[in-house]
Structure formats: structure tokens, C-alpha cells
Amino acid sequence: MPVSISALFAAVYIDLPENSRHSGTENERIGVISGMSRFKLNKTVVMIGMMGAGKTAVGTVLARSLGVKFVDSDHELEAASNTTIAEIFDNFGEEFFRKKESQVLARLLEEEPCVLSTGGGAFLRAANRDIIAQKGLAIWLKADEDLLWARVKHKSTRPLLRVPNPREKLCAMLRDREPFYQMAGLTVEADPNYTVQDMANKVIDVLLADSSNVLNEAR
């Protein structure tokens, strides 16, 4: 049964128990390593970029490498509303989803520093860019259209690609969104020859070299 609008509005404000706010296995969603990390994360790192850029995969390994938790804003919204992103789009529309997405994002950025993966459209909203700039640091995982298409073409969980020509739609979205993604604090280019760990290491190098001091090596 589709969730009601009132229930979905209420859900994003509920401080849910820790064991109900994430999906997936502990390793998939948290990425906390045992022992002491050699890094200190001072602000939340927010992974932005297109669907298929690797935000969740790289973010999970990055969080494990830094010894912090990994959070996926889409998964948080699904857990809070007890429905899927696709169902929210189908039942309430994209604009409603974007409002809920912003509310969840604002809540997550008030929590302790972590690696946070966002939906591909989250950074397009000015309010989201502002709060990310205040509370965290955005990193754009930049991938070209060939790599993106190779990763998403067999997936049926992307509501925005449920069109007669999904590749054409993907390319149009990339062109429209790139000017917004370019506003991110940092950019890391995806390399199809890199492993996920290679990409996570590349993000760490970029963070350590940045003057913002979002990430430091622990002393």
C-alpha cells in the first residue's frame, strides 16, 4: 500500500532508532574499521555527481578507510518513509521527493562527521548547496557519459531513466547538471581502470591536499 503524504512528511522528522535508519549490512552502510584510523575527519564529506558515478561504492570504501560511518541519503529517506525512491516518484512526483530529500540532507548534516552520499539531483537545489557548504564539503565524482551509461543501462531502479531513449536522457541530464556539479568544493575524476579502493585513495589524497582541513592525518 502506498505511504500517505502525511506519513511521509512526518517520517523525515522522526529521530529513528539507529538500527532502523539504515539498510544493508553493517559493512555496506557503516564502513567503520576496527582499531584507530590514521585520519581525522572534521566535517562531513558529501559525495555528489550523476547516477552511476560511484558515489555509494566509493563512499562506502572511503568511510571505511577514514574510520567513520557511511550514510546514503536515498537509503535514509527510504527507511524513514518505508517506501522506495521509485514509489515516491510514482505516487507523489519529483518535486515532492526533492523537498523530502532536502529535509533528510539537512538532518544528516547536523550529525557527526561522516561520508554522505547524495542523490544525483540533490546538489541542483540552491538550499542544499548552501547547507552542504556550511556543514560539510562537497566532492564531485566526475564521470563521462560512456562510463555512466555502462553502469546504469541494466538497472531498472532509476525513475528518471524510465523513458523511450534512456541514454539520450542520461546525456541531457549530465549536460544540464554539470554546471551545478562544478560548484562543488573539490572534484575527483572517475577512472574506469581504477578499483573502488583506488578511487577512495584518490579522494583521500585530494582531501589531504586541500586547504580546507576537512581531513587531517591523526597525530
Reported as a single tens digit per residue, the pLDDT across 58-67 is: 999 999 999 9
pLDDT of residue 82: 87
CA separation for the pair 217, 162 (Å, rounded): 44
pLDDT of residue 214: 95
CA separation for the pair 24, 95 (Å, rounded): 27
pLDDT of residue 54: 92
Residues 145-189: tens digit of each pLDDT: 999 998 888 766 666 667 778 888 889 989 999 999 999 999 999
pLDDT of residue 151: 86
pLDDT of residue 113: 97
What string of DSSP letters covers 114-166?
-EEE--TTGGGSHHHHHHHHHHEEEEEEE--HHHHHHHHTT-S--GGG-SS-H
Cell 529513528, residue?
16
pLDDT of residue 45: 98
Give the global pTM. Answer: 0.79
Name the stretches of the chain with pLDDT < 70.
1-36, 155-161
Three-class secondary structure of residue 59 per DSSP: helix
Closest CA to 199 of 76, 115, 73: 115
Q: Which domains does the chain have, with CATH numbers?
A: 36-213 (3.40.50.300)
pLDDT of residue 130: 97
